[in-house]
Chains A and B, each alone.
Chain A
Amino acid sequence: MRTWTMALALALTGWLAQPAAAQTLINGAGATFPYPIYSKWFDEYTKVDPEVRFNYQSIGSGGGIKQVTARTVDFGASDGPMTDAQLKQAPAELFHIPTVLGADVATYNLPGSPKLKFTPDVLAEIFLGKITKWNDPRIVAINAGVSLPDQPIIVVHRSDGSGTTYIWVDYLSKVSPEWEKKVGRGTSVNWPVGLGGKGNEGVTGQVKNTPGALGYVELAYAVKNKLPVASIKNAAGKFVEPTIQTTTAAAAAASKNMPADFRVSLTNPPGDDAYPIASFTWLLVYRDQPNEVKGRALVKFLWWMSHEGQGYADDLLYAPLPTAVVKQIEAKIKEITYQGKPLVAAR
């Protein structure tokens, strides 16, 4: 009996003492959309560097921006780039570091789940409430051979504020001047028509249960749930199906004109095989790190994430960064400093 207690006590003290050995805890908060891959990364990264632990709260992009601005976390994460006004509110210069890409897809409920095609203007008109029937001549014209019912189109959108919505309406704003003027861009907007579903699962549930429904969800969610998805005509005039490859292609096409701060909208990019409704998701880190140990660990992680880490993207249905963008990110990571001194030695 006594030996048991002794052993237990010893084991306990050993277990308690171990992590106390100079471990660095890095706190982050923000976007929910990349949470699955972030948690995978943070978990895998403990094998690369056992000294560092990450703690990430997926509280939403808005919360991530607020917390990193208030310096209550070491890094933030956001699905939409911070606005100039928001950057000005931050106490110091913030970098946007792209991590992976996501895409929005149009999914629908029609008898037989036919493969549909949409042009940008038809999609915008549907979401503006101007095309209201599935057998509208303009939908029929681009979907030769598909029998479309004489049924009202029931638009389903996200009711909760989300990066997914931002990407969708950002695209509609780019392809439709009327949408830009009437509705505009945001994580929540004043929808001209439609029903709101909470989360990807809410939208999917409503689309699945409502004949004639048309909604948008994340690519990963649509693939996992085997939802019918539409091809969209891109800026090069080609109909492109949403896949991980075509999403990465969207970023590759945009990398030629990449702004130095990565705050770029990837929707409607050039490129023959680019899927047009895609976006980066970003980590937000301070250019000059306030803590040397944490700063060094964070920079090391960013480097790992943009190289080895990208290998985990496919399995979790995120699109990895194209090589051209990784090169640009390398340069950015080298600019991160502690008291003016770079934290990464040039490799």
Chain B
Amino acid sequence: MASVIAREPGRALGPGSAPAVFAQVAPRNTGDRILRTVLRAAGLSLVLLVTAMVVEMVYRSLPAMRAFGFAFLVTSTWDPVAEQFGAVPFLYGTLLSSFLALLIAVPLGVGAAIYLAEIAPVWVRTPVAFLVELVAAVPSVVYGLWGIFVLAPLLRTWVQPALGATLGFLPFFAGPAYGVSMLAAGIILAIMVVPFITAVGREVLLAVPNTQREAALALGATRWEATRMAVLRYGRSGLIGAVLLGLGRALGETMAVTMVIGNRPEVAISLFAPGYTMASVIANEFTEATSDLYLSALIEIGLLLFLVTVVVNALARLLVWSVGGAVKVGRD
């Protein structure tokens, strides 16, 4: 039963098939030809932009690549005075903080999206959806200041001691509580990412045709079964797109993270320890990086951040394909 419903969707949303028709037909009048040229230019300009970015970053990070080679990716010393640079703590910090953020934000965000689209009474939906979109527009420096003055003291005085007392035997919750930490960065990122996942996720679920729900209910499914099998499976690709959008924000977020992560270039297992991210180190040190090698090392960090974003997105797409055929990832 489930499979019948889940395999059907293609036609209703079918974002992948329609344009192919246009592509096969040669444009016949001037208007079409102009339209085609303009749209092609728009499409190609994106490709050009990304290529230009990569070329520029590679070119400008050449001095650092020559000086450190592969060691840049496997050493963890960051010493601007001695000009010794290694990217490991930043790579680790970016990946770990984003992972933590998704760990918290995905259940919360998707849960909220399901509630708003499927369960909430109509008089709740509109105001809450409006609030969610409002929260998504709060500037990150505001989150950062809130992080320093509210979240970090809260973590230091209540959350970290409690976690240490109960789960302190795990290496993730060991060590002194400073407040500012990898944990704080993960939490603040989660808070920033939830509205994105909720807002986009809600739109995705609302786009699921009602016939899906009706079919499932008619076949005797409960409300939960209908949501899980007919709605979530149908909207899966869109939901994953929502999560990826959130992940993108988490990977690249700079200001809020810089203010609460402690900015210490070290690889620590404990989530209570301070850390550092790639975006943060660029924001912190770029303006005052006076030597050429130093600047080049920072640009190589930028290149690395770009590559990490590409790889993480690619892996996410592979994951989607592996769980259920060719599903389009994106904001449908």
Contacts and interface: CB of A to CB of B under 8 A. Distances in A.
Is chain B a partner of chain A in the same complex? yes
A63 interface: yes
Contacts of B276: 196
B130 interface: no
A210 B284 contact: no
Interface string A55-89: 00001111101100000000000000000001000
Nearest to B144: A198
Contact of B287 (A59, A159, A183): A59
Interface string B126-160: 00000000000000000001001100110010000
A63 B287 contact: yes
Given A185-B81, A195-B180, A202-B259, A161 B153 contact: no
Contacts of A209: 148-149, 152-153, 156, 179
B274 interface: yes
Contacts of A65: 290
A160 B148 CA distance: 16
B81 A184 contact: yes
Given A209-B152, A209-B179, A190 B262 contact: no
B253 to A, nearest CB: 14
By secondary structure, the A interface counts as: loop
Interface in B147-181: 148-149, 152-153, 156, 176, 178-180
B263 A154 contact: no
B263 A189 contact: no
Contact of A60 (B259, B263, B288): B288
B302 to A, nearest CB: 16
Interface residues of B, number: 33
Interface residues of A, number: 35
A201 to B, nearest CB: 8
Contact of A195 (B80, B263, B280, B289): B263
Given A190-B81, A205-B149, A196 B263 contact: yes
Given A159-B263, A161-B285, A195-B180, A188 B80 contact: yes
A159 B176 CA distance: 20
Contacts of A197: 148, 259, 263
A62 B149 contact: no
A189 B78 CA distance: 8
Interface in B264-314: 264-265, 274, 276, 280, 283-290
A195 B77 CA distance: 16
B77 to A, nearest CB: 7
Interface in B207-249: none
Contacts of B280: 159
B124 interface: no
A279 interface: no
B79 interface: yes
Contacts of B274: 195-196
A243 interface: no
Given A159-B284, A161-B288, A184-B82, A198 B264 contact: no
Interface string B75-100: 00111111000000000000000000
B164 to A, nearest CB: 15
14 contacts: A59-B287, A61-B288, A62-B289, A65-B290, A161-B80, A162-B288, A184-B81, A188-B80, A189-B80, A190-B265, A196-B274, A197-B148, A206-B152, A210-B156
Given A160-B285, A196-B264, 11 more contacts: A61-B288, A62-B288, A65-B290, A86-B290, A159-B258, A159-B280, A187-B288, A188-B284, A197-B263, A205-B148, A206-B152
